[in-house]
Amino acid sequence: MAAGTLSLPSYDDARVVVPAPGEGPGNWAGAASAVLVDGTFWLTWRVRRPLTDGRGVAVVVARSHDGETFEPVAEVRREAFGAESFERPVLVALADGGWRLYLSCATPGSKHWWVDSLTAPTVEAIAAGERRVVLPGDDRIAVKDPVVTVGPDGWDMWLCCHPLSEAGHEDRMTTRHLTSADGLAWVDRGEVLAGRPGRWDERGARVAAVLPGSGGAPAVAFYDGRPDAASNWFETTGVARWDGSRFVPDDALGPIRSPWSDGAFRYLSAVPLPDGRTRYYVEAARADGAHDLLTLVR
């Protein structure tokens, strides 16, 4: 798939899948990921409140037959992980018929994040699944918001990393590529996307979705970027091409914004459909400053 042939998502004809949990800034439904397995769409997202009301309080997993009307089947609360907040979750179907949920967890009282997991035989049982810390991060790096894919050659992860070395600048972000044989033990293959000085994504670049090309290799990524620290939480979506070793932004195709409020259009998830089109899910700002979780097909 060439980046120039993409049918890009936009706010124009999107439909609300999950409304924000309240009115006004800080009330957000989003940071979602989605998969289509045996004709069923599985969508997982975090429910976020304003900073004064608890931030990311829960992760919800739901299913749908049409990709638009979802029935919640599981919920995970941050308290069960001792986390101050949740961010992007990822649900993966396992080869043995089981399921794994990856969770982005904030360490209380710090800027540190880690990635945890729950593994269970069914999605309905995921909240009580076997827990394992997958990527702990450390005192230098916070890790969160993974994008996870599984193919015949193993597992790939595109991981958002925040440097913690400079106080007050922990919002900066880059993306690294990791591989795994089992989805639990990961090998870091290096940085594949970073912000660019003087551009709309100067402050950071976080891969949100990866579409494969021929042979299953990555071809195109959608990514979240922002120009400055003040735009934290209000990222917009860019497009980047894989050059064999890293993603190269294509400024002719982005950034994509919401026409409302803070302009946020972020955490895009892309689900290839059997008819060749793509169903997108995205967290987008609405007029009152809240963020809804939207879907559209291109």
Q: Is 39 exposed, middle or buried (0-12, 13-18, 19+ CB in 10 A)?
A: exposed
Q: Is the pLDDT of residue 132 over 90?
A: yes
Question: What pLDDT shows up at residue 2?
Answer: 44
Residues 6+ away with beta carbon under 8 Å from 110: none
Task: Tell me the two tokens of residue 220.
Answer: 């195109």
Neighbours of 24 (CB within 10 A): 11
Range with the poorest average pLDDT among 194-198, 250-254, 272-276: 250-254
Q: What is the largest CA-CA distance in the chain?
A: 49
Q: What are phi and psi of 4, to 5 degrees?
A: -70, -15
Q: Is the pLDDT of residue 1 over 50?
A: no
Percent of the chain's residues with pLDDT above 70: 97
Spatial contact of 44 and 51, defined as CB atoms under 8 Å apart: no
Q: Name the average pLDDT for the chain.
A: 95
Neighbours of 239 (CB within 10 A): 21
pLDDT, mean of residues 181-191: 97
Confidence (pTM): 0.95
Q: Is the pLDDT of residue 281 over 80?
A: yes
C-alpha–C-alpha distance, residues 166 and 186, integer Å = 26
Question: What pLDDT shows up at residue 7?
Answer: 82
Q: Is the pLDDT of residue 4 over 70?
A: no
Task: Tell me the two tokens of residue 181.
Answer: 């044989």
Report in angstroms the alpha-carbon separations of 124 from 44, 46, 76, 99, 101. 12, 17, 11, 10, 11
pLDDT, mean of residues 102-109: 97
Task: Tell me the two tokens of residue 258.
Answer: 């919401």
Percent of the chain's residues with pLDDT above 90: 90
Task: Write out the H or E segment, with its range, that includes residue 293.
Answer: strand 291-297
Spatial contact of 139 and 167, defined as CB atoms under 8 Å apart: no
C-alpha–C-alpha distance, residues 160 and 22, integer Å = 27
Question: What pLDDT shows up at residue 223?
Answer: 98
Spatial contact of 225 and 268, defined as CB atoms under 8 Å apart: no
Q: What is the 3-state secondary structure (H, E, C) of 38-99?
A: CCEEEEEEEEECCHHHCCEEEEEEEEECCCCCCEEEEEEEHHHHCCCCECCCEEEECCCCCE
Range with the poorest average pLDDT among 30-44, 204-218, 243-257, 276-290: 204-218
Range with the poorest average pLDDT among 81-95, 158-172, 178-192, 213-227: 213-227
Q: Is the pLDDT of residue 3 over 50?
A: no
Q: How far apart are the first and last CA of the chain?
A: 14
pLDDT, mean of residues 13-26: 96
Query: Which has more confidence, 14 or 151?
Result: 14
Q: Highest mean pLDDT range out of 117-126, 147-156, 246-255? A: 117-126
Which tens digit of pLDDT belongs to each residue from 150-176? 988 899 999 999 999 999 999 999 999
Question: What pLDDT shows up at residue 212?
Answer: 86
Long-range contacts formed by 123-126: CB under 8 A, 24+ apart: 123/42, 123/61, 123/63, 123/73, 123/74, 123/91, 123/99, 124/73, 124/74, 125/74, 126/61, 126/74, 126/76, 126/91, 126/99, 126/101
pLDDT, mean of residues 173-197: 97
CA neighbor of 231 nearest in space, from 207, 247, 255: 255
Spatial contact of 34 and 43, defined as CB atoms under 8 Å apart: yes
